[in-house]
Amino acid sequence: MTQQPRQIENVFGLGNGEKVLNEYAYESSSCGCGPSYKVYLTDARIIQRGQEKSGCCTTHQVDSMLFLSDISTISNYAQRQTCNIWDIICCPCSILSCCFTAGKPISIRGAFGQEVFMFAVADVNRALADIPQAALPIKTAKSHY
């Protein structure tokens, strides 16, 4: 009997044999107007789904994925998103989600440029330790060729 890959909330599904090492979830609690993020760290990739509300009316999602082998640096500093004046006018409580967020961005760089992944403040230090630890076997295996 073959085991089906686990389903995750992202267009980038898991590959055969790919294992989820950790999941991180962050949801802004400001009046239901804030963004939410779900990050999956696997043994080969880091995958994120971000859902943001615009004016508390419409939601759009962005799925992103990086191969751990492509990461060269990771930092707990990233440029924060600025408040959108139209969102604040349409939904005054959205100022809480973009100006007083409990989320923390982690910047990941490589030959691809920079990607920002969002985490709950309580998960940032764990993620900063987990991501390089997951990438290390891949990075050391590449250097032996």
Pull the structure tokens for residue 105.
């961005």
Helices (H) and strands (E) in the chain, counts: 3, 7
Q: Where residue 4 falls among pLDDT bands split at 50, 70, 90?
A: low
User: Which SS3 state, helix, strand or coil, does residue 89 take?
Assistant: helix
- Phi-psi label, residue 31: left if phi above 0, alpha if psi -120 to 50, beta otherwise: left
Q: Taking the CA of residue 13 as centre, how many other CA atoms within 13 Å lie in the half-sphere pointing to its CB?
A: 7
Buried b / exposed e along 111-130 (16+ C-beta atoms within 10 A): eeeebebbbbeebbeebbeb
Burial (CB < 10 A; 0-12, 13-18, 19+), residue 95, is middle
What is the per-residue pLDDT across 62-118, written as a single tens digit (0 to 9) for each? 999 999 999 999 998 755 555 555 555 555 555 555 555 568 899 999 999 999 999
Amino acid symbol at 105: P
What is the per-residue pLDDT across 42-65, written as a single tens digit (0 to 9) for each? 999 999 998 876 655 667 889 999
- Choices 1.20.120.80, 2.30.29.30, 3.40.50.720, 1.10.10.10: CATH for 20-139: 2.30.29.30
Nearest Cα to Cα of residue 65 among 100, 117, 105: 117
Domain range summary for the chain, segments of one domain joined by +: 20-139
